[in-house]
Amino acid sequence: MTTLLDPTSEQAPGTRERARRPASLDGLTIGLLDISKARGDVFLDRIAERLVARGHTVARFAKPTFTKPAPIDLRHEISTTCDVVIEALAD
Amino acid sequence: MHDIVNLEAAGTPGVFLASTEFVDAAAAQSRALGADPAALFVPHPIQDRSDDELRDLADAAFDAIVVAITARADER
Amino acid sequence: MLPDGLIAVVKRDCPTCALVAPVLAELRTRGTEPLTVYSQDDPTFPEAIGGAIDDRDLDVSFTLDLDTVPTLLRIVDGVEVARTVGWSRDRWAELTGLEPLGADLPPHRPGCGSRTQDPAVAAARATREGEQHLRARRVTLGAEEDDAEAMYDRGWSDGLPLVPPTAARVVRMLTGTTRRPDDVVAVIPPDLVECTVEKIAINAVMAGCRPEYLPVVIAAVEAACTDAFNMHGLLATTWFSGPVIVVNGPITRAIGMNSGINALGPGNRANATIGRALQLVIRNVGGGRPGEVDRATLGQPGKFTCCFAEHEDAYWEPMHVERGYRADTNTVTLFAGEGVRGIADQLSRTPESLTRSLAVCLRATTHPKLPIAFDAMLIITPDHLRVYEEAGWSKARFREELDALLQIDGAELIRGAGGIAEGVPTSLADTTLPKFRDGGLLIAHAGGGAGLFSAVIGGWASGKMGSEPITHEVGT
* pLDDT tens-place string over residues C284-295: 999 999 988 888
Predicted local confidence at residue C14, as pLDDT: 96
Indicate the helix (H) or strand (E) that contains A40. Answer: helix A40-53
CA atoms within 13 A on the CB side of C249: 20
Question: What local confidence, expressed as pLDDT, does residue B6 receive?
Answer: 86
CA nearest C139 in B: which residue? B34
C64 touches chain A (CB under 8 A): no
* Interchain contact C77–B (C-beta under 8 A): no
Q: What is the pLDDT of residues C361-410, one digit of tens each?
A: 999 999 999 999 999 999 999 999 999 999 999 999 999 999 999 999 99
* Residue among A24, A39, A90 whose CB faces B18 most closely: A90
Q: Estimate to the nearest angstrom the gap between the alpha carbon of C280 and the chain centroid.
A: 13
Instruction: Mark yes or no for CB contact C138/A5 under 8 Å.
Output: yes
- Touching check for A4 and chain C: CB below 8 Å? yes
pLDDT at res. C1:
76
Q: DSSP characters for C324-383?
A: T--TTS-EEEEEEE--EEEEE-SS--SHHHHHHHHHHHHHTSS-TT--BSEEEEEEE-HH
Name the residue among C295, C439, C296, C458 with its Cα closest to residue C364.
C458
Subunits close to A (at least 3 CB pairs below 8 A): B, C
For residues A48-56, give the mean pLDDT.
Answer: 94
Residue A64: band (very low, low, confident or very high) from pLDDT cuts 50, 70, 90: confident
Interface touch B31/C142, C-beta < 8 Å: yes
Q: How far is B5 from chain C (nearest CA, A)?
A: 10
Task: Note whether C144 contacts B: Cβ–Cβ < 8 A.
Answer: yes
Mean pLDDT over C401-423 rounds to: 97
pLDDT digits (tens, 9 = 90+) for C65-94: 999 999 999 999 999 999 999 999 999 999
- E strands in A1-91: 3-5, 29-34, 57-62, 84-90
Query: Mind listing the pLDDT tens digit for each residue in B63-73?
Result: 999 999 998 76
Taking residues C438-458, what's their average pLDDT?
96
**Has residue C144 got a pLDDT over 90?**
no
Q: Supply the ipTM of this predicted assembly.
A: 0.91
Task: Say what percent of chain C tops pLDDT 90.
Answer: 88
What type of residue is C365?
T
pLDDT tens track for C245-275:
999 999 999 999 999 999 999 999 999 999 9
Span C322-339, mean pLDDT?
97
Q: Yes or no: say if A64 and A71 are a contact pair by the CB < 8 Å rule.
A: yes
With an 8 Å Cβ cutoff, is C135 touching chain A?
no
Any C CB within 8 A of A72 CB: no
Cα–Cα distance for residue pair C146/C219, rounded to 1 Å: 33
Q: Which chains touch B (3 or more CB pairs under 8 A)?
A: A, C
Cβ separation A79–B75 shorter than 8 A:
no
Q: Which chain C residue has the Cα nearest residue B35? A: C142
d(CA C200, CA B42): 45
